[in-house]
Structure 1
Amino acid sequence: MIVRRCALFILFSLAANSAQAGREPVLKQVDLPHTYYWRELYIPQLTTGPSSLAFTPDGKALIYSMGGSLWRQAIGSDEAIELTHSTGAYDYQPDVAPDGQTVVFSRYAGDAIELWRLDLKTGREQALTTGGAVNVEPRVSPDGKRIVWVSTQGSGHFNLFIANLGAAGLQNAQPLIAERQSKISRYYYSSWDHSLNPSWSPDGKRVLYVSNAEIAWGTGDIWSVAADDPNDRHRVLSEETSWDARPETSPDGKLVLFTSYHGRQWRQLWVTTPEGSAPLPLTFGEFDRSNARWSPDGKRIAYVSNERGNTSLFVRDVAGGATTAVTAKSRRYRSAEGHLTLDIRDEQGRGVPARVVVLASDGRAAAPEDSWIHADDGFDRAIQKSETHYFHCPSVCTLDAPAGDTTIWVQRGFRYLPWRQKISLASGSERNIAVNLQRNDLPADFGSWRGADLHVHMNYGGHYRNTPENLARQARAEDLDAVYNLIVNKEERVPDVDYFRADPDPASGDGVLIMHSQEFHTSYWGHLGLLNLSDHLLTPDFSAYQHTALASPWPHNGVVADLAHAQGALVGYVHPFDWDIDPPKEKSLTNELPADVANGKVDYMEIVGFSDHKSTAQVWYRLLNLGFRIPAGAGTDAMANYASLRGPVGMNRVFLETGGDRSPAALKAALKQGRTFASNGPLLGFELDGKRPGDTVTKPTSRTLPYRVAMRSPVALDHLELVQNGKVLKTFSLTGDRRRLDASGEIPKDVGGWVLLRAWNDEADPEVLDIYPYATTSPIYLAVGGAPPATNDAAYFVTWLDRVIDDAANRSDYRTADEREATLAYLRKARDYYARRAGQRSQ
């Protein structure tokens, strides 16, 4: 994966054709790589189910976060009582003071996460931090006089802070652990160490936490530090954690409860001791249990589970394991509520699923109680207060929302126009809203297209537990025909490993095909998509993981491609480039793409994906100029069980011309042959001399080459262009709402090479949950005239591979000399090919 920009919360008064320039990541003040990991796996997220909890001091009730509010519910009762409901903000991570009078918690308001305190008797709320940092995981000391938490204040990194806690708020706030930079390199984590997941020892003298000093993979080990002497600290347990171990000592001081996935694919509850005795699992299951807390008497544990898919709350006896679900069957809201029902239908009046955003009068997202809320991963702060939160509606869905003006946005894939409406919801009312979607598809004579997302991760350590059946429901709501679930590791886990099969998943049907494929992870050579493996997953699922037992860069991607091709699979480069690659100026350059293309290993590229589409296309154009026929693919890289989803599923998709055939073989053949266009919104139709993308014009029918184009888009477009051999050949004038165009014309036939149609915007658009709208067809190839020389493009890749070869030659972690020499020989062979094309000497 590649560090990059992201997405938004819709301001519904904005005109639908307005492009925005200020799209930035959520919580941009955090100075850490790979936002899609720490934001989902560590930062609290909006869910309709519970997300974090604390016992009351008498052990009879829980105070927990749900739907962005804090709630109180007695164990054994079905009624939940809403304690907080802030306008335009969401509350998480409660911790009850020992006297039971107050609760500290974290509040997210779009620009920062601050600590607050609630007086349970008066309802008074008090801000404890105001610095604009990210402040999370507050824990009050056993005597109620101090607080420890995690903050990015002053550094942008997650560090432990401690302060005195009094009636006036915080006093003498300061870091508990000094900033430290590890000496080893880390790909998924900052070089600066972090400290997180704090909790107090029962006597209030020490703090348990998680830190990653000199650790390459995972969020680190469990440590203990004296609250009054930061130099008095020691490692409790060496453990590969992933953001949410959240160790907590039992009230008697004898056990440490924490969450772990050690040796498994899912997180369960484990126990060790303050001395770090060999840990043992306390719970089992192919799902997650997390955010666990001891009851005050140490006899029970409360935790959040995704066993049912969404998040749920349970209390479990330590001895015997008897479990009680804490379910809010009735809810006592702080504000007056109305009842809303949506009935979504297509152009023929048939009920269809769709993606829905409901922005209530309180400035917060509303959703049905049983739905999965997903949050976009960025927004334009000039027009929006927070990121978009959305859910998938099966066609008819009902929800409660605060009374007042309520805005609804419904969207279903790319072949329908977005639907918006603002209504007034009265207290105690029941509103039924008919949603009639308007079709905006390509003309039928441009072919029969099937939309596929080539890069989805069904489960990847997120809040929810996804299944093929639910993944298919997500796809249907996005009007997506096929999903390729790329099974892949998340550090030592491979969450979906048991789902692999060569044939379609049994959940396929009703217009959706689910295929389980693979992503091969090597952040050194570049990630690969391996589609349609016929026999088995390739294991290990990664290479070149420095500072691990699998540090060797062997097997390189060429070897992996051969293994995949032996199973009949297609091999593609996924989320390639996030900026324009200038080989001599790159700080480091190890991506193997040009070598694998020259050696005939690459079947497609994700031109539209989790990368910068225009930067990726520039590299693609250079390869096309050299005569390589590389089809345009697309994949969202959606972690489909995330609450903070980089998506939704199908946000980046490839359209495949299959003649109406929905079979895996037809989709595979269309991709391999380049009968595709890739898009995050615009639909493109392109014919040249009667040929379509993937075809070759060999015998022109006239002195010029006639073309015909069509464009349909759910959003206004800035640019629609014919591109020949990497240069703009024809620019079409877009007028009116800039969402439709049909045009025809002619181009000269005396230049060979390739031609494609592309559409793009200069800036972001709030109705496309990506960095900017973009679409491209695969090329139509021209075996006419003479193709222009591509010596500059060949020289570009010579320089590229010189950098790759230098870096690969200087590595000292190959397992054998044969691995090293085979790798370098493979790279030099490709380098020599480009050198000959550039008119240079081979090495």
Structure 2
Amino acid sequence: MPRRLTALLALFLLAGAAQAAREPVLKQVDLPHSYYWRELYLPQLTTGPSSASFLPDGDTLIYSMAGSLWRQRVDDATATELTHPARAYDYQPDAARDGRSVVFARYDGNATELWRLDLASGREQRLTTGGAVNVEPRLSPDGKRIAWVSTQGSGHFNLFVAELDAAGLHHARPLLGERKSALDRYYYSAFDHAINPSWSPDGKTLYYVSNPEIGWGTGDLFAVDVDQPAQRHRVLGEETSWSARPEPAPDGRRLLYASYHGRQWQQLWLTTPDGAAPLPLSFGEFDRRNARWSPDGKRIAYIDNRDGNTALRVMDALGGATRDVVATHRVTRLPQAQLVLDIVDEHGARTPARVAVLASDGRAYAPDAAWMHADDGFDRALQSAETHYFHCAPPCTLDLPAGRAQLWVQHGFAYAPWRQAVNLAAGRATPLRAQLQPQRLPDAYGRFISADLHIHMNYGGHYRNTPAHLAAQARAEDLDLAWDLVVNKEERFPDIAAFRTDPDPASTSRTLVLHGQEYHTSFWGHLGLLNLGDHLLMPGFSAYWHTAMASPYPTNGAIADLAHAQGALVGYVHPFDTLPDPAHDAVLSNELPADVIQGKVDYIEIVGFSDHKATAQVWYRLLNLGFHLPTGAGTDAMANYASLRGPVGLNRVFLDTGGQHDRAAAMAALKAGHGFASNGPLLGLLLDGAKPGAQLAPGRHHYRVALRSPVAVDHLELVHNGQVVKAFTLGGDRRHLDAEGDLDLDGGWVLLRAWNDGADPEVLDLYPYATTNPVWLGDHVLVPSARADAAWFAKWMDRTIEAAAARDDYNTAAEKRMTLDYLGKARDAYRALAAGKPSTTTAETGR
């Protein structure tokens, strides 16, 4: 590998990335909500197996594991590595019926292409080109044709077929073509997709999943005559979620697939090609999926996450006896070395942490039992693929190719990142000790605990999470409080059984695991409900078009009332990806302004799964009107994902509890605005000795500020009533500053913020950003721009009322009347403020 490329791959050694151009993984896919399809559909790098295919003997499997293809007999513990591409990863093998070759998908950081491996010679042949996403290759029984799913030409997942011979593919073509649905689909593209292909035993029919005129889920099971693609029909109507993968039995009489089928976890089900009522083949509170029949129909190989990580198992179709296929001994293609990593804090005590390892082959590695996670974006000028990482409870032992490896260790924000390169000799174990150095704020600025207010423990991902494992993830990230928000995803509520009103028994003295709720309505905006004292609010969502729960009622305000009745705090989560524009947005239905002015909102995620700067602009306008609305922070981490929006604690709020480490103190600090939110920089602000959340008289004030950051910061600013009044010059590595001075400040508010113009590869987010809560100046002072801000919100409410009035799916006239009355009251209050008149519906409520 050229030395320059090696340096680019080693992202952990690069500095000065303030202008980095972060882009999504597989940016060529033109579909909404990438955090679903990327994890639930596309193959991901896992240390455990991810997909498998039988060879003709029915006793040998070829499967994907750790980015390579492996061959292993079911009754043998030795696995032989068949492929090992540099700077790329192999997935989804499909063995030819004659046992001579296997087709598979290879991801190189830019695209996913189809390849073929000759099993006798080891020769690899690339089958597709063009930079699309090509996945799920399936060979016809006679080996003369291949079906797969590709985004070629459209950016959407469409079903393709081609002839196949020794030279490669011929006459590749989309089988069904593009079709745009007449339905509004929130989570799915307006264009239908066709995924999960498999051949009938006679090679004439393809079974697949598609969603024509289906609003929710990835669709129904279909069948199509390959030579007469207009002859297609629905086999079974059922909501599926990306990985149903219908698989006909060799006898052609049964159709095996994975389904939730009204439950919380995917298991294996059987129907028939005629769509007979499905019956379960397996049971359990975990996922079984990616199932394949053996050629004689006597066995089924599948992937499950019963033990947390992915595992490969083979079940007898008759009787259900199950064997675990475990690679106790691995025959690798490259000489191997062993790395034993120990991680300690400043006192020499072992400390769990997040670790990224990039080996000499340009691929990511983790211990065999660790959960491998991947970032959701990266800068292609600095990296060949997204950052992969795992959580290490030291010491951690890794097997990886000999040669030079790069390591990055991070333990939250209060420790400096640790980076080092190490040369590993083949056949030897190399010990390495990472000693972390603290970079904490002085105690004068507060005694903080950190909290991620928005985590989803399980959400349909590759792994099966538990409260104990979530606590371990949080501990590795130096996170004190992990708040699991139980949430629905259409038909399922994966963590509903974990909900409890008291701290989870998996909590430790260092890490609290708590359970709350995210209330879903994509019309009004999503809510975080913390500290529910009795029960989850059911059904957990509203305003779902084309369902029996289509009514926009209840509003978020009504849900907030129910939550407050249980003693909960209510927050708006992941609010805005762009600044709302009441004059030009096609639809503006977000309810935030109405709920704030009527005292329903206790916090807002300024730092979360949204654009922090855009959200802050809305927040500043609310602060200008005197609303004491504190910032919270939440990652919206799907903590059982391999391709993770995260890790947990990526976005967190630091709460000044005076050193108390309990839920009550944390909630009191959150509600009072005592602290700051961040995805990296630590901020300290004192105004005449007062901390954020305090109230002072207007006038001349002495400020003290502090910055400690794991990454370089471009901008550190004091903001008064939405305007920068002091910009600090950052020198050296731009990670550390202590400053003080005096400012004349009239009424309103002042806060400290840090932000970067662009991304930094050491912050797995859009860009580094942090903000304190405001210090208030005066009692309910309206700033000079308040009337204009109120007028802006009044126009916003005009548009929200317009959107709500246009809905024709309220259950009753009373629901519509209550909704419009509630919104109208908020609009009137903003109009009164815009006219300079006092309002009776403002922050005087105390929320």
Number of the residue aligned with 1:768: 763
Number of the residue aligned with 1:345: 344
The 8 Å contact of residues 372 and 389 in structure 2, kept in 1 or not, is answered as yes
Number of the residue aligned with 2:752: 757
Matches within 5 A, 1:98-497: 98-497=97-496
Partner of 1:584, secondary structure, is: coil
1:615-673 deviations in Å (ceiling 9; x for gaps): 00000000000010000100000000000001000000000000111111111100001
1:53-107 deviations in Å (ceiling 9; x for gaps): 0000110111000000000000110111100000000000000011100000000
Number of the residue aligned with 1:19: 18
**Counterparts of 1:58 and 1:382 in 2: how far apart (Å)?**
46
Number of the residue aligned with 2:845: none
1:121-153 deviations in Å (ceiling 9; x for gaps): 000000000111000000000011000000000
**Counterparts of 2:350 and 2:222 in 1: how far apart (Å)?**
54
Partner of 2:522, secondary structure, is: coil
1:778-836 deviations in Å (ceiling 9; x for gaps): 00000179842511100100110000001100110000000000000000000000001
**Counterparts of 2:533 and 2:94 in 1: how far apart (Å)?**
51
Tell whether 2:794 aligns with 1:798: yes
Residues 10/603 of structure 1: CA separation in 2 closer, same or farther (3 Å cut): farther
Number of the residue aligned with 1:504: 503
Partner of 1:33, secondary structure, is: coil
**Counterparts of 1:265 and 1:566 in 2: how far apart (Å)?**
28
The 8 Å contact of residues 342 and 398 in structure 1, kept in 2 or not, is answered as yes
Shift of 1:16: 2.8
The 8 Å contact of residues 753 and 788 in structure 1, kept in 2 or not, is answered as no
**Counterparts of 1:439 and 1:806 in 2: how far apart (Å)?**
53
**Counterparts of 1:458 and 1:496 in 2: how far apart (Å)?**
7
**Counterparts of 1:746 and 1:819 in 2: how far apart (Å)?**
54
**Counterparts of 1:187 and 1:174 in 2: how far apart (Å)?**
29
Matches within 5 A, 1:2-151: 11-12=10-11, 14-151=13-150
Partner of 1:804, secondary structure, is: helix
The 8 Å contact of residues 10 and 358 in structure 2, kept in 1 or not, is answered as no
Partner of 1:208, secondary structure, is: strand
**Counterparts of 1:770 and 1:787 in 2: how far apart (Å)?**
32
**Counterparts of 1:715 and 1:26 in 2: how far apart (Å)?**
22
Residue in structure 1 matching 2:706, options 710, 718, 725: 710
The 8 Å contact of residues 705 and 746 in structure 1, kept in 2 or not, is answered as yes
Shift of 1:589: 0.4
The 8 Å contact of residues 12 and 419 in structure 2, kept in 1 or not, is answered as no
Number of the residue aligned with 2:3: none
The 8 Å contact of residues 270 and 280 in structure 1, kept in 2 or not, is answered as yes
Shift of 1:684: 0.4
RMSD over aligned CA atoms reads 1.2
Shift of 1:446: 1.4
The 8 Å contact of residues 355 and 391 in structure 1, kept in 2 or not, is answered as yes
Shift of 1:21: 2.8
The 8 Å contact of residues 752 and 788 in structure 1, kept in 2 or not, is answered as no
**Counterparts of 1:622 and 1:787 in 2: how far apart (Å)?**
10
Shift of 1:426: 1.1
Shift of 1:161: 0.3
Shift of 1:735: 0.5
Tell whether 2:808 aligns with 1:812: yes
Structure 1 letter corresponding to 2:117: L
Partner of 2:11, secondary structure, is: coil
**Counterparts of 2:825 and 2:418 in 1: how far apart (Å)?**
54
The 8 Å contact of residues 658 and 667 in structure 1, kept in 2 or not, is answered as yes
**Counterparts of 2:318 and 2:253 in 1: how far apart (Å)?**
15
Number of the residue aligned with 1:5: none
The 8 Å contact of residues 572 and 605 in structure 1, kept in 2 or not, is answered as yes
Query: Could you state the TM-score of these two structures normalised by the residue count of structure 1?
Result: 0.97
**Counterparts of 2:626 and 2:581 in 1: how far apart (Å)?**
21
Partner of 1:224, secondary structure, is: strand
Structure 2 gaps of 5+ residues are 1-7, 840-847
Shift of 1:375: 0.3
Query: Could you state the TM-score of these two structures normalised by the residue count of structure 2?
Result: 0.97
Matches within 5 A, 1:572-591: 572-591=571-590
Structure 1 letter corresponding to 2:768: P
**Counterparts of 2:395 and 2:156 in 1: how far apart (Å)?**
44
1:748-767 deviations in Å (ceiling 9; x for gaps): 14x10000000000010011
Q: Which runs of 4+ in 1 moved over 2 A?
A: 9-18, 784-789
The 8 Å contact of residues 487 and 497 in structure 1, kept in 2 or not, is answered as yes
Matches within 5 A, 1:537-556: 537-556=536-555
Number of the residue aligned with 1:777: 772
**Counterparts of 1:177 and 1:591 in 2: how far apart (Å)?**
37
The 8 Å contact of residues 525 and 572 in structure 2, kept in 1 or not, is answered as yes
Partner of 1:723, secondary structure, is: strand
**Counterparts of 1:18 and 1:496 in 2: how far apart (Å)?**
38
Structure 1 letter corresponding to 2:351: V
Shift of 1:11: 3.1
Query: How many equivalent residue pairs?
Result: 830
Shift of 1:13: 6.8
**Counterparts of 2:90 and 2:405 in 1: how far apart (Å)?**
21
Residues 350/13 of structure 1: CA separation in 2 closer, same or farther (3 Å cut): closer
Residues 375/13 of structure 1: CA separation in 2 closer, same or farther (3 Å cut): closer
Shift of 1:580: 1.7
Number of the residue aligned with 1:596: 595
**Counterparts of 1:612 and 1:299 in 2: how far apart (Å)?**
52
Partner of 2:32, secondary structure, is: coil
The 8 Å contact of residues 448 and 656 in structure 2, kept in 1 or not, is answered as yes
Partner of 1:694, secondary structure, is: coil
Shift of 1:15: 3.0
**Counterparts of 2:388 and 2:782 in 1: how far apart (Å)?**
52
Structure 1 letter corresponding to 2:77: D
The 8 Å contact of residues 70 and 80 in structure 2, kept in 1 or not, is answered as yes
Residue in structure 1 matching 2:828, options 829, 832, 843: 832
Partner of 1:670, secondary structure, is: helix
**Counterparts of 2:655 and 2:581 in 1: how far apart (Å)?**
32
**Counterparts of 1:658 and 1:297 in 2: how far apart (Å)?**
64
**Counterparts of 1:668 and 1:447 in 2: how far apart (Å)?**
16
Identity %: 67
The 8 Å contact of residues 20 and 766 in structure 1, kept in 2 or not, is answered as no
**Counterparts of 1:133 and 1:16 in 2: how far apart (Å)?**
31
The 8 Å contact of residues 61 and 72 in structure 1, kept in 2 or not, is answered as yes
